[in-house]
């Protein structure tokens, strides 16, 4: 099969130049360029799970340059033959913790792990979980063909790769100072990027070690009016003023009543906003 496309991308040029076959989605090359360009011509260690016909090994060598160490992983022992071409090849099952323990014991920390293996949820999730401790500062784990999360045959959807990645997003956000009492705080991953069919995890232990807290630069303060609640109904302001008046403060029954009225008005305001937003998103076919 030869269906070369007119794609403007450096990784696509490397792919086309590869002497052996490889099969990648047309949408992946611009994502590779975006994620991997800064590692070009560097002494990096790049791992790809999934060797098959060997074509992508040559593509990556072409793309990253001769300083890069390109390592292939596959379940198929025949993949070993690519060692003759200067690639390191490891044979094993990406869904097995034991395989990864042995692998990282031998190879040490790496810069980039790209998963183009079997694409089941178990394989993808175990690959991410087992690789995380072994990614160098500013390194990446990139999982491709994540569209399998929307397909049958790759595992139970409840624990699809995309559902796992969404859970990790929540855990990243729990780092925020008001939530970091939660058990699920994610301190391993700095950022997660979602592309079509591809998810990329970035690691920066310095950034994730910074405690989430308020900072203030202490410079000239203008004291501008904060408009963040400007869209609230005017009556909320009036109720707030009322309940801060001394007379009301002294009338013990009145204050809770004002607070209750305020709560009801605010809840109906929020509900109206929600309905309008939902209607808008529906009109755009987003929800």
Ligand X SMILES: C[S@@+](CC[C@H](N)C(=O)[O-])C[C@H]1O[C@@H](n2cnc3c(N)ncnc32)[C@H](O)[C@@H]1O
Tell whether residue 118 is a contact of ligand X (CB under 6 A).
yes
Question: How many residues sit in the footprint of ligand X (CB under 6 A)?
Answer: 22
Of 57 and 172, nearer to ligand X (C-beta) is 57
User: Which of 86, 140, 83 is CA-nearest to residue 115?
Assistant: 140
Of 141 and 172, nearer to ligand X (C-beta) is 141
Of 18 and 171, nearer to ligand X (C-beta) is 18
Backbone angles phi, psi at 89, to 5 degrees: -125, 135
> Three-state SS across 9-61?
CHHHHHHHHCCCCCCCCCCHHHHHHHHHHHHCCCCCEEEEECCCCCHHHHHHH
Neighbour tally for 176: CB within 10 Å: 12
Contact mark string toward ligand X, 63..82, x via CB under 6 A? ----------xxxx------
Q: How far is the CB of 93 from ligand X (least distance, A)?
A: 4
Q: How far is the CB of 18 from ligand X (least distance, A)?
A: 9
Of 156 and 178, nearer to ligand X (C-beta) is 156
Which stretch of DSSP H or E encloses residue 208? helix 205-209
Of 23 and 207, nearer to ligand X (C-beta) is 23
Q: How far is the CB of 73 from ligand X (least distance, A)?
A: 6
Tell whether residue 113 is a contact of ligand X (CB under 6 A).
no
> What are the contacts of 264-270 at 24+ separation with CB within 8 A?
265/233, 265/235, 265/236, 265/239, 266/232, 266/236, 269/232, 269/233, 269/236
Q: How far is the CB of 63 from ligand X (least distance, A)?
A: 12
Q: How far is the CB of 118 from ligand X (least distance, A)?
A: 3
User: Which of 197, 49, 70 is CA-nearest to residue 116?
Assistant: 49
Q: Rounded to whole angstroms, how far apart are CA atoms 87 and 69? A: 8
Q: Rounded to whole angstroms, how far apart are CA atoms 140 and 36? A: 9
Angle at CA 240, nearest 5°, toward 237 and 244? 140
Of 116 and 186, nearer to ligand X (C-beta) is 116
Q: Please select the residue that binds ligand X; options are 35, 45, 50, 201, rule is CB under 6 A.
A: 50
User: Which pair of tokens denotes residue 186?
Assistant: 């994610």
Tell whether residue 169 is a contact of ligand X (CB under 6 A).
no
User: Which of 238, 241, 235, 243 is CA-nearest to residue 259?
Assistant: 243
Tell whether residue 24 is a contact of ligand X (CB under 6 A).
yes
Which residues ranging from 82 to 111 are in contact with ligand X (CB under 6 A)? 93-95
Q: How far is the CB of 142 from ligand X (least distance, A)?
A: 12
Backbone angles phi, psi at 152, to 5 degrees: -90, 170
Which residues ranging from 246 to 275 are in contact with ligand X (CB under 6 A)? none
In angstroms, how far is the first alpha carbon of the chain from the final one?
39
Q: Please select the residue that binds ligand X; options are 11, 14, 45, 56, rule is CB under 6 A.
A: 56
Tell whether residue 155 is a contact of ligand X (CB under 6 A).
no
Of 20 and 232, nearer to ligand X (C-beta) is 20
- The binding site for ligand X (CB under 6 A) comprises 22-24, 48-53, 55-56, 73-76, 93-95, 116-118, 123
């Amino acid at each position: 099969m030869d269906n070369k496309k007119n794609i403007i991308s450096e990784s696509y040029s490397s792919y086309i130049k590869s002497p052996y076959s490889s099969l990648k989605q047309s949408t992946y090359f611009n994502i590779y360029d975006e994620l991997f360009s800064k590692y070009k011509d560097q002494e990096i260690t790049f791992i790809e799970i999934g060797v098959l016909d060997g074509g992508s090994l040559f593509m990556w060598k072409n793309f990253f340059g001769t300083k890069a160490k390109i390592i292939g992983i596959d379940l198929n022992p025949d993949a070993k033959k690519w060692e003759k071409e200067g690639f390191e090849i490891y044979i094993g099952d990406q869904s097995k913790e034991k395989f990864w323990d042995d692998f990282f014991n031998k190879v040490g920390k790496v810069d980039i792990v790209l998963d183009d293996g079997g694409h089941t949820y178990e394989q993808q999730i175990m690959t991410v979980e087992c690789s995380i401790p072994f990614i160098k500062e500013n390194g990446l784990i990139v999982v491709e063909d994540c569209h399998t999360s929307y397909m049958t045959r790759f595992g139970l959807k409840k624990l699809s790769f995309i559902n796992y990645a969404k859970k990790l997003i929540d855990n990243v956000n729990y780092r925020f100072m008001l939530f970091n009492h939660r058990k699920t705080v994610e301190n391993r991953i700095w950022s997660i990027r979602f592309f079509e069919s591809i998810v990329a995890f970035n690691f920066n232990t310095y950034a994730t070690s910074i405690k989430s807290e308020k900072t203030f630069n202490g410079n000239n303060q203008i004291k501008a009016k904060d408009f963040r609640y400007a869209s609230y109904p005017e009556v909320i302001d009036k109720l707030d003023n009322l309940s801060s008046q001394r007379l009301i403060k002294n009338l013990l029954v009145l204050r809770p009543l004002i607070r209750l009225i305020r709560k009801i008005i605010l809840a109906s305001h929020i509900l109206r906003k929600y309905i309008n937003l939902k209607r808008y998103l529906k009109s755009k076919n987003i929800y």
